Amino acid sequence: MLNPKDIISTLQMVREENLDLRTVTVGINLTDCVSDDINTFKSRVYDKITRTAGQLVATCERIERRYGIEVANKRISVSPIGVVAAPFNAEQMVEIALTLDKAALELGVDFVGGFSALVEKGMSRGDQALIDAIPQALTESQRVCSSVNVASTRAGLNMDAIKRMGVVVKQAAEMTAEDDGLAAAKLVVFANIPQDVPFMAGAYLGIGEADAVVSVGVSGPGVVKAALERAINEQQDMDLSRAADVIKQTAARLTRAGELVGREVAESLGLPFGIVDLSLAPTPNENDSVGEIFEAIGLPAIGAPGSTAFLAMLNDAVKKGGAFASSHVGGLSGAFIPVCEDLSIADSAANGTLSLEKLEAMTSVCSVGLDMIALPGDTSAEMLSAVMADEMAIGVINKKTTAARLIPAPGKKAGDHVVFGGLLGEGPVMAVNMGEQENRFVRLGGRIPAPIQSLVN
């Protein structure tokens, strides 16, 4: 016999607090598709993806009904194309992106990630071709996402790659000018990218992973907010220790739900189960916002002083709860603070409570980085690279993942509004404190050496 309280709280999480599985992502290794003939490679890739994940959408829909929990997105991640398609040139890389897109469309999945390169220490010919292809590939495809790892704690920062990525992001945005630079919203630059992220745009299947693997991304900022609000209402003397407990326990429950569904999908597809990534990932809807959690705990708004402290606590408590609930927690696991994907964060950015600089500070304690940030269209490629370099340095020094998903919205200036639609949302164009657009530091290129691992102060 179930306890009525447990029944009610589970129902509430699903009905009112927007608990969903943000994504079930099937990672597919493409190393066995390798060929130096582009048509052979493309057809092997298409066949392997459609064969391995052919039943993904139908399976998710069946399991959704069984448990009454929505699987918002079904996604594919593949081996980094920069590695498995190394013989090809940029034009052929675009063809490969369109093949991935076609496979995604055929399967009915929402996104396919892995149009990626790992260049933290240097760039191979394949990586170079892939990076050159990114703007066109993301413009011509609908569902392909791209990521480039440009830095790591062990390798330092590849400033040549960062310099190049400023140009690539700018081009990608300009080629999709009529959609406010949408292509740049599907491109993310990383430091310390995890090999098993199920979330986009950073999902790819690491080289050390299985031939195919099912991972799940669980979200639920609304559930955490509701749990905190309930605790505050019920306990007059609730302090932050107690709040951390509430977040931890809630995170554990969310993770349990995710693992249950993930394992069942994996079993149905005959694939191994990989990880649960419990990340508080917002959507542009009320009650599904990370920013609203900041308000629930008593901050005037996200971005106000105190925000970094609370974010540190939130991110840590989410990780602790997740790690307790499942032995296979991975990916990013923590709190995301994407500006355009979160109504409350977008509001704070629009009314000036949250500046780019404060966001950067907050990314030193969040689980990703500068995410979904629209910048003025006239931001120079060099300035974009400089913003990326700052963000990567935070990750490299703090031994954590950081990322930059910057969208220099063509024709837009600070304070204007951009709309990307769907989960990518909408929000204000944020000001960059630029001074000069020129940045001779970035132009120097080379590598910033890997940091010392002792003398940690």
Partner 1 sequence: MNKVLISVLGSDQPGIIARVSDIIKQHNGNIENLSQTLLDTVFGALLQVELADADSAEALQTALEAACQDMDLFIRVHPWRESSSDWHQHKAQVQPYIVTAIGPDRQGLVAEIAAQLYQHGVNITHIQAIFKGGSNPMDNLMVFEVDVPKDTVMQALRDALTDIATRLDLEISVQHRKIFDSVSSIVN
Binding site for partner 1 (CB under 8 A): 1-4, 6-13, 15, 65-69, 252-253, 256-257, 259-260
- The distance of closest approach from Cβ of residue 84 to partner 1 in the complex, given in angstroms and rounded to an integer, is 37
CB nearer to partner 1: pick between 257 and 394: 257
Distance in angstroms (rounded) separating the CA atoms of residues 270 and 278:
23
Give the C-alpha distances (Å, rounded to integers) separating 88 from 82, 85, 132, 143, 411.
9, 6, 12, 21, 34
What minimum distance in Å lies between the beta carbon of 276 and partner 1? 12
Q: From the CB of 4, what's the least distance to partner 1, in Å?
A: 5
| Of 50, 47, 127, residue with least CA distance to 85 | 127
Minimal distance, residue 242 CB to partner 1, in Å: 18
- Could you give the CA distance from residue 305 to residue 294 in angstroms, rounded to a whole number? 11
To the nearest whole angstrom, how small is the minimum distance from the Cβ of residue 234 to partner 1?
15
Nearer to partner 1, 2 or 452 (CB): 2
Question: Look-up: residue for tokens 């950015």?
Answer: 349
Among positive and negative, which fits the CA dihedral 53, 326, 187, 185?
positive
Cα gap 361→369, rounded to integer Å: 10
d(CA 373, CA 445): 25
Q: Which residue's CB is nearer to partner 1, number 3 or number 457?
A: 3
Alpha-carbon gap, residue 354 to 340, rounded angstroms:
13
Q: Which is nearer to partner 1, 10 or 364 (CB)?
A: 10
- Could you tell me the smallest distance in angstroms from the CB atom of residue 203 to partner 1? 25
Instruction: Note the helical H segments in 4-118.
Output: 4-15, 38-52, 56-67, 81-84, 90-107
Any idea what DSSP says for residue 248? H
End-to-end CA distance of the chain: 54
Taking the complex as a whole, the smallest distance from the CB of residue 330 to partner 1 amounts, in Å, to 19
Question: Smallest gap, in angstroms, from Cβ of residue 25 to partner 1?
Answer: 20
Other beta carbons less than 10 A from residue 361's beta carbon: 14
- The token pair that represents 403 in the structure block: 């990322």
Task: Tell me the three state secondary structure of residue 227.
Answer: helix
Q: Compute the least distance from the CB of residue 12 to partner 1, in Å.
A: 6
CB-nearer residue toward partner 1: 132 or 264: 264
Give the contacts of 155 (CB within 8 A, at least 6 positions apart): 120, 121, 447, 450
DSSP class of residue 338 equals: -
Name the one residue in this structure whose structure tokens are 């606590």. 313
